[in-house]
Structure 1
């Protein structure tokens, strides 16, 4: 983003002097909007009325950032330390952060078509399942309609189900809170131990996991499926994301169940049906949601690595999830497969993928991996904690998963500030990088090729 500041800053300033309008690149506008939302949320959460006890400005800042970036990492327990007013502020920040980001990302991505060549316009519109840049308004409305419908249905089912154990208004309140949190892939909970008390409850687990999947799969995919309703005419991107989501969720479910079924601290003491539900929830929630029905700190190292991989990959593009994204991961796997089997093209569902797309996927992978490495390195200097806990916390922050092995509340102020930066960059980074790659100018200078050894 720094590379754009001189050009956009001076151009925006002169344009503002001339027209009275301030125009900046979409990533700069988005980042500024998120900063303002975080600061407003911080002030609201710091109010005495927001807490059952004073929570402090730093804790309010951390919680506001975690909510706006739909992460779910917490330095206080929202169920205990926040009043109903504070809880409503928190979940409102989640809603605004989740849907605001996606809506803006859709609009920014489609708007790119106005600044690109005709060929690039076609690619951009195809990638986001649009036929005209004039459909921006309709797309934004569609995003909101899908989101609110899914959240309302989930809240209704959960409220009726939880009404058995709680007063009706309490059931409705908690159901609405968790439906919004699950769909926006933010792991805040109003129950002790997240949703551990529902580990064997099929209705709660399946409703929440469905919300997480729908929120994390991407609105372009949901729109494409809703319009075409059959597999054959679906866009290649939609097919890839659907197939990838199924494989990752089922693969993670099988791996976690197989690795943990003898662990007495996680699945070992549960009946078989509860083991299956807990392993399924752990796999799905690792895709940047953060809700947990078992103690993550007691996972075996092998299961922890599986969880970190799922967090790192994340969900679909233009979704409430983060990570490098499923599409990026599949593109890279397909590129490796093509190289190993001496194929000149990267092919997915009988469609070739452009070299530019492969390069973008590689750039996203390396930038995110570098961010994780840098964050882990700095935290190992600042904190005296096991490396696996630190690495887990960093991956969770960068991928905005919000899952923790109990380290977050124990972090020092400098470490909390670092995690805040990681959450913010992890949420905004993919759009920023995508915009940079999409709007970069190609150099007309060509150099002779050289032989270079790799591997």
Structure 2
């Protein structure tokens, strides 16, 4: 019997989620193999690790370098690459290699997977995505190799460089050291290479293609302008706040030299855009710094990028929407361009649905885990933003806690609207009703 998407009546959203879940399940099976680990791990830990890799989050319940063999690390790396560039992107590549035609239904699924607003040019975008990603990851490998090959030799040095280049570009945050990158807190090569990789990966492929083609900031699309400007401003502000708030903290920046304080502030300031690496002890952050990072993690990276969160442009649309309302304007205007109400409603829906799931998850974590409200909030939003930073709770999660974080990582990767639309009923013909005012505020 021949099966097709039409015969089982799956929407593009449902198909995307099912394929994603299938890859997580397959990855879990591979990570449970004796060849993948140095010691036996539970099924829940295997699923958690596979989900964290597939959603390019980086949260871990077992110590990656101590628990997994090279085979297990390669499985994790494969899941990171698959999750970062997108399952449907790889499917398109296979179709192209086989000489198959990409139909309308497949293009719709690709559109949803890459978070595009139109069907035009999605296949070309996927081709460019692969070429660009491979080039950037190769450049990252070469830069990191200049630091690690002299230390570890060619074989191990290149392997470490490849792993961290792919992990950084895909904003995964998995590292092959138990303390992440804390030993390189003041190392310019590691700080610059890793940060550039996850910043470029987090800006979004549509922005990168736009910059590549036009070269002139004024000619860029509004989305590209917002992403570049927003990324620059948030990075500067984040670095300043981390530097000021942690300057005298003896467990983070306090004992470092001034140059190393600046490197650590820069790195830890840009990491919450969903990268997940750390060069200082996250568990020792001041509460004010932790709360500021929570805000950054919730905002996240760019649309059609390897990062998570509600997305930077979503946050900016809401901010400009509030400003427009306070000015008494009837529409949202950014850079002399007006936004449709659909975009504003979509931004509000993404934020609201995301917040709803986050609140429920924090409530459950606070009930099931022996932790503080701040730490629970930090871990949940780190999972939602697919960031991977942890204040130490993830290692001690109960079974229920692991299930909650797994779901939130999955939600953060596929997006709140994708999940809701996959469960929603087919659209019905809309009926217009009489208007009536409601008192608000």
> Normalised by the size of structure 2, how large is the TM-score?
0.91
Change in CA separation of 1:141 and 1:36 when aligned onto 2, cut-off 3 Å: same
Deviation at 1:309, TM superposition (A): 0.5
The whole-number CA distance in structure 2 between the counterparts of 1:319 and 1:172 is 26
For residues 104 and 266 of structure 2, the distance between their equivalents in structure 1, rounded to whole angstroms, comes to: 38
Give 5+ residue unaligned stretches, structure 1: 1-12, 116-122
SS of residue matched to 1:347: strand
Distance in 1, matches of 2:321 and 2:106, equals: 27
1:90 aligns with 2:76: yes
Spell out the pairing of 1:248-327 with structure 2 (5 A cutoff).
248-327=234-313
Deviation at 1:106, TM superposition (A): 10
Structure 2 CA distance for aligned equivalents of residues 342 and 411 of structure 1: 48
CA distance in 1, matches of 2:293, 2:91: 27
Cα displacement (A) at 1:146: 1.1
CA distance in 1, matches of 2:91, 2:432: 34
Residue 66 (structure 1) aligns with:
52
Task: Determine whether 1:406 maps to 2:383.
Answer: no
* 2:337 alignment counterpart: 351
Structure-2 separation of matches of 1:434 and 1:232:
36
- Partner SS for 1:286: helix
SS in structure 1 at match of 2:251 = coil
**Mapped pair 1:30 → 2:49:** no
* Counterpart-to-counterpart distance in 1, 2:81 and 2:122: 21
Say whether the 8 Å CA contact 2:107–2:122 is kept in structure 1.
no
Structure 1 residue 452 displacement after superposition: 1.6
Encode CA deviations 1:236-278: one digit per residue, 9 max, x unaligned: 1110111111111111111111111111111111111111111
Shift of 1:32: 1.0
Instruction: Check whether the contact 2:276–2:388 (CA below 8 A) recurs between aligned residues.
Output: yes
SS of 2:275 mapped into structure 1:
coil
1:208-246 Cα distance to aligned partner (Å, 9 max, x none): 000111111110000000000111111011101111111
Correspondence 1:14-413 to 2 at 5 A: 24-101=10-87, 103=89, 128=116, 133=120, 135-413=121-399
User: 2 CA distance for matches of 1:425 and 1:433?
Assistant: 7
| Alpha-carbon distance between aligned partners in 2 of 1:406 and 1:316, rounded to the nearest angstrom | 27
**CA distance in 1: counterparts of 2:436 and 2:78, whole angstroms:** 55
Other structure's SS at 1:200 match:
coil
Displacement, 1:442?
7.3
- Does the C-alpha gap of structure 1 residues 24 and 452 become closer, same or farther in structure 2, counting only changes over 3 Å? same
CA contact (8 A) 1:267 1:278 kept: yes
Q: Could you give the per-residue CA deviations for residues 120-173 of structure 1, whole angstroms, max 9, x where no partner exists?
A: xxx99xx9487x73x333221111111111111001110122223222211110
| Structure 1 length-normalised TM | 0.88
Q: Is the 8 A contact 2:202 2:302 kept in 1?
A: yes
Are the counterparts in 2 of residues 332 and 358 from structure 1 also a CA contact under 8 Å? yes
Q: CA deviation at 1:434?
A: 8.9
Give the whole-Å Cα distance in 2 for the aligned partners of 1:214 and 1:429.
Answer: 20
**CA–CA distance in 2 between the matches of 1:137 and 1:331?**
28
1:301/1:169 CA distance change after superposition, 3 Å:
same
The whole-number CA distance in structure 1 between the counterparts of 2:40 and 2:423 is: 45
SS of the residue 1:268 aligns to: coil
Describe the superposition over 1:179-213 as per-residue Cα deviations: whole angstroms up to 9, x where unpaired: 10011111110013100001000110111000111
Shift of 1:435: 6.2
TM-superposed CA distance for 1:402, in Å, is 0.9
Map residues 409-420 of structure 1 onto 2, 5 A cutoff.
Answer: 409-420=395-406
- Segments of 5+ residues of structure 2 without an aligned counterpart are 94-102
| Aligned residue pairs, count | 428
1:393-431 CA-partner distances (Å, limit 9, x unpaired): 100111111110111110111111111111112211246
